[in-house]
Structure 1
Amino acid sequence: MTNVSGWVPQTIYTIYIAAPAERVWEALTSPEFSRQYFSGYTVTIEPRRGGTLTMTAPDGSLHIGGEVIDWNPPRRLSVTWNVGWPGLVEALGGTLVTYEIEPAGDAVRLTMTEAHEHPLDDDILSGGQQGWPAILSALKSLLETGTAPKITMQPPMRMIAALKRRGIRIPGLPD
């Protein structure tokens, strides 16, 4: 099991969703749900501590791999989140994504925390800071209305430039 005790939280988002905790948990852990709010990407989680996490792109290729660090339905899920770009994890260290679901009256409070093995600069973090609000907003819409909006975003150019400066090649983009 990966030891994440010293990893530093650097990105935190909290949203309120008018849905039961069990339904939010299902959306976070179900491949069928994730495909709807994660822009066609499918998250598959082996439902136990020490299990695997995989995220496949719409074309079926592996995009992210990881390990389940904490599995506590329907309250807390922590997974390592290793994007499969050549040299990325070696250069930047690992990432830990944690979802905490707490009662909040007729809603739940969902807090997503992205922690890192090593502190990262704002340019590197800008990719997640651009992507997470769209993902969490689509999740909220899906659970509250039954439909996730199609959100179109520009590529995270600040992050891409910072990764290229570190010699990290991003598949599908010119060097």
Structure 2
Amino acid sequence: MDKPVIKKTIDINASTKKVWSVFTDPTITKQMGGEYVSDWKVGSSFGWKGKDSSVYTNGKIIELEPGKLLKHSLLDLKDKDRLLSVITYEFIKNGDSTILSATEEINYEITDYLFKEANEGWDAALQLVKYVAEKL
């Protein structure tokens, strides 16, 4: 059986450099309610820490091309050997704007309801990236 995949794209009226900074510059990322914790090297840990200092996600950077590509794993917080998904962000220059493409390859059985919720979560997350990047 094929694993579920969520693929989303959004056009952001900002340069790829600005969109990239929404992910990598903690002072900007905090406008989204937290920050990514990483040293931004392939093989390094990669997680999301909320404003309350709680770690909500954990994984490893699989591929990285600054300003172009970020691919990371998402691991179970309790069982760090359990792969939940692989997430890929592509930052595509489109004139003066950026097309941000996000793909999540889900590695576990998911109900239709949870898949729908995950889809909606991606829409909201990308809208937030767009909002923050366009205000820079």
Q: Does the alignment reach a TM-score above 0.5?
A: yes
Tell me by how many angstroms 1:72 deviates: 0.5
Match of 2:26 among 24, 31, 56: 31
CA RMSD of aligned residues (A): 2.3
* 2:125 counterpart SS class: helix
Tell me whether 1:58 sits opposite 2:51 in the alignment: yes
Partners in 2 of 1:55 and 1:142 — Cα distance?
Answer: 17
Tell me by how many angstroms 1:88 deviates: 9.8
Match of 2:14 among 9, 13, 19: 19
- 8 A Cα contact 1:63 1:83, kept in partner: no
- 8 A Cα contact 1:100 1:110, kept in partner: yes
Partners in 2 of 1:145 and 1:56 — Cα distance?
Answer: 23
**Any stretches of 5+ residues in structure 2 without a counterpart?**
none
Partners in 2 of 1:88 and 1:73 — Cα distance?
Answer: 26
**Any stretches of 5+ residues in structure 1 without a counterpart?**
1-6, 147-175
Partners in 1 of 2:119 and 2:80 — Cα distance?
Answer: 18
Percent of aligned positions with the same letter in both sequences?
Answer: 24
Match of 1:113 among 81, 103, 109: 103
Tell me by how many angstroms 1:41 deviates: 2.4
Q: Deviations over 1:16-60 (max 9, x none)?
A: 1111111111112222222212xx122122211111112112211
Superposition pairs of residues 1-175 of structure 1, within 5 angstroms: 8=3, 10-37=5-32, 40-82=33-75, 84=77, 86=78, 90=82, 93-118=83-108, 120-146=110-136
Partners in 2 of 1:52 and 1:100 — Cα distance?
Answer: 19
Partners in 2 of 1:134 and 1:127 — Cα distance?
Answer: 11
* 1:94 counterpart SS class: strand
- 8 A Cα contact 2:76 2:84, kept in partner: no
- 8 A Cα contact 1:81 1:97, kept in partner: yes
- 8 A Cα contact 1:101 1:108, kept in partner: yes
Q: Which of these two proteins has the greater Rg computed from alpha carbons?
A: 1
Give the paired residue count: 135
Tell me by how many angstroms 1:82 deviates: 2.7
Partners in 2 of 1:52 and 1:88 — Cα distance?
Answer: 11
Please, what TM-score do these two structures have when normalized by structure 2?
A: 0.85
Q: Deviations over 1:88-143 (max 9, x none)?
A: 985xx421111001111221110011112245332232332121111111111111
